[in-house]
Amino acid sequence: MRIIIKSKNLELGNGLKSFIEKKFLTLKKLMRVGDEEEDFKKDSIEIFVEVERETSHHKKGNVLSIATQMDVPGKKSLFAKVKGDNLASLVIKAKDLLKREIETYKFKKTSQTRQKRQKVK
């Protein structure tokens, strides 16, 4: 699993980058390679994290947004986007949204294979 971090209108320090990587590496166990799922290789999953400070002059303070995109083998991309003013809480919210997307994707994939098996019976 590779995590690619990009920032716009904002400079991230090494501490923030390592915090983001640590939080998103916890998603690795959800994409665990099983015996029947050989499409999920270790390095085939990429997570793009874009941290941006929005420059809208009507809002006061720092308005930050985090957009994440996870490319999964099988031509599937999972997205999550959050906005707020606290960077640490935004990272956690984005990770939770991406986790929910992964769970629905995996459930959908398993339910489709179950439906195919039921049709065969």
| Structural domain spans, the chain | 2-120
Residue 15, SS3 per DSSP: helix
- pTM of the prediction? 0.76
Closest C-alpha to 94, from 79, 115, 77: 79
**pLDDT of the residue at 34:** 47
**Gap between the Cα atoms of 116 and 93, Å rounded:** 35
The CATH superfamily of 2-120 is: Ribosome hibernation promotion factor-like (3.30.160.100)
**pLDDT of the residue at 121:** 61
**Furthest-apart CA pair in the chain: how many Å?**
62
Residue 86 pairs in a beta bridge with none
**pLDDT of the residue at 66:** 94
87 has a pLDDT exceeding 50: yes
Contact 55, 33 (CB under 8 A): no
